[in-house]
């Protein structure tokens, strides 16, 4: 498997995407969503956070909000 090469710009974009997931998880269910849809989307965003947090390219990015949003 090839080693992953990633730029500082991509790291910043990935971190911003993680914070988008955190904000979604911490937000409120939209009126048009069923409870099942909301729960599925929350779990999908938590899985995104778990996958991204496991990357080995993070340096000094704060993961406190990520950890709280994952909640496990």
Owner of token pair 């909301």: 38
Question: For position 2, what pLDDT does the model report?
Answer: 53
Rounded mean pLDDT for each run of 10 residues along the chain, 72 residues in total: 78 98 96 96 98 95 97 81
Exposure string of 2-23, with b = 16+ CB inside 10 Å and e = fewer, is: eeeeeeeeeeeeebeebeebbe
Question: For position 5, what pLDDT does the model report?
Answer: 84
Q: What is the DSSP letter of 58?
A: -
Q: What is the pTM of this model?
A: 0.87
């Amino acid at each position: 498997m090839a080693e992953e090469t990633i730029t500082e710009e991509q790291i910043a974009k990935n971190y911003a995407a993680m914070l988008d997931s955190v904000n979604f998880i911490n937000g409120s269910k939209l009126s048009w969503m069923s409870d099942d849809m909301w729960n599925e989307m929350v779990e999908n965003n938590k899985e995104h956070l778990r996958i991204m947090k496991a990357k080995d390219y993070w340096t000094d990015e704060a993961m406190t909000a990520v950890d709280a949003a994952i909640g496990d």
